[in-house]
A and B are shown apart, each in its own frame.
Chain A
Amino acid sequence: MPASARRSPRGYTGIPRWVYVPAAVGLLFVVVPFVGILARVDWAHFVPLITSESSLAALRLSLETALASTAACLLIGVPMALVLARGPVRGRRWLRGLVLLPLVLPPVVGGLALLYTFGRVGFVGRWLEVAGLQIAFTTMAVVMAQAFVSLPFLVVSLEGGLRTAGGRYEAVAATLGAAPSHVFRRVTLPLVLPGLVSGLVLSFARSLGEFGATLTFAGSLQGVTRTLPLEVYLQREVDPDAAVALALVLVVLAGAVVGIVYGRRAAGTAER
């Protein structure tokens, strides 16, 4: 990446020079708080703090539920993106707005919506309860809360990729006699794979950080519903050192995720 950047011509950029000042301020604004949290970490006790029983339970639950909700997003998000991008649907703009709603909604509102729908007295939950299926206070509720808030990331990312790619290759494949499912697997998917991967990784990251909807809908019990962000919030009450150590774990996880996506993307751009 640095090598290719050096090779690129440094001619006229069209950026006024003063722009660099607010841009630098913005960068500092984002980066400095991480320095703040690093400075606050109790390094001597860092390992015991993040390997305590409750920390490990939260970390494990977070990874498992985030993977599960990402899988759910994949299963329902890809078809949604396909229909939104290429389906002969009316009111596409409205549909897209609806799909995006959880993205702009405060997560706690999403949690309340889920609670009043799938909770014990919710209009869906009531019937599930009769059928002997309880969702609130289970790990299932955590996965649902995460999928609810992270689905838009996958749909938006993939839909963008699908629209940019256009349908020309698919049309050619179809004229050569390939069935739609075959075209989807052999032509569309490989074409939009970068968008799909970044959508998946963003969904995973958003799931990992989910807090408000989980707390509202799923509750908080060690090993069952208390994910890493909930553990951080709770530990802050009694043991700020543990909260900071766990917060750093989340920062590193999130950083790794973003690094994977944009590292890939940057590599892809350089190749082109």
Chain B
Amino acid sequence: MKRSLSAAAVVVLAGLLTGCGGGPRAGNGVGPSSTSGGASLTVFAAASLRATFTELGHEFEAAHPGTKVTFSFGGSSDLVAQLQNGAPADVFASADEANMTKATTAGLTTGAPQIFATNVLEIAVPKGNPAGIHSFQDLAKSGTRLVVCAQQVPCGAAAQKAAQVAGVALKPVSEEQSVTDVLGKVISGDADAGLVYVTDAKGAGGKVDGVNFSESSAAVNRYPIAALKGVKDSALAQEFVDFVRGSQGRKVLGDAGFGAP
């Protein structure tokens, strides 16, 4: 028993060894992602697109029998960094134009990226709105525990812009890493209010209430999508892009609260 275990360990380590040898050079190409039988499509999409793109993926698979769509959802900047380091993907959908620009500058995309959706900020408050937040100005009331995104991330930059337009100096108790972190603190009731995207508040499924504010139109977030270079079936990648931008895509995105481009 012991012997067979150590033999297995040797096999595993040998595998590691050979893997290590090929490592550094395999970085810039597209990895071996082919699957036997049927076409496969890998889509890197911003975390805020998780619900809508998962649904669109199923619809796309239904419209293209035999095709398998795989998603990797994450922060747009993380996804770009992964793409720059050789992650194999066919389509990239970003939550902001800055990160898509990084991808185009690095020569990762084919053709010009196209805007397929927009999103605006909304105030999310815990169920029942215990702190009585009804306007952007209310966020600056003393004693209000406000949570926003850090300025370094897109939702934080948008919050900053809205605050400037409204002429309100925000004093958040926390500047979170991502919109999900903000939402989490509103859902748990630890924050009185948080600035999130309309779609996030809607996607929280009734666990938070949304409060619209007119200043949100000053900071509209635009979502670009593009097919990526170095893919096996670039026609399929482009088809997915067109599908997202087409009527079915519009409907699913619209239902989730995304605005038209």
Contacts and interface: CB of A to CB of B under 8 A. Distances in A.
A119 B188 CA distance: 8
Interface residues of B, number: 25
A20 to B, nearest CB: 12
22 contacts: A21-B13, A22-B9, A22-B10, A115-B188, A120-B188, A120-B189, A121-B188, A137-B173, A137-B190, A219-B173, A219-B174, A219-B175, A220-B150, A220-B174, A220-B175, A220-B176, A221-B173, A226-B175, A234-B152, A234-B177, A237-B77, A237-B152
Interface residues of A, number: 29
A237 B98 CA distance: 11
B20 A28 contact: yes
A215 interface: yes
A22 to B, nearest CB: 4
A22 B12 CA distance: 10
Given A22-B9, A221-B174, 13 more contacts: A22-B13, A22-B17, A116-B188, A119-B188, A120-B190, A215-B177, A219-B174, A219-B175, A219-B185, A222-B175, A234-B153, A235-B152, A236-B77
Contacts of B181: 215-216, 220
Nearest to A120: B190
Contacts of A21: 13, 17
B39 to A, nearest CB: 34
Contacts of B177: 215, 220, 230, 233-234
Interface in B75-95: 75, 77
Interface string A93-125: 000000000000000000000011001110000
Interface string B179-193: 001001100111000
Contacts of B16: 22, 25, 29
Contacts of B158: none
B145 interface: yes
A121 B190 contact: yes
A119 B174 contact: no
Interface string A23-38: 0010011000000000
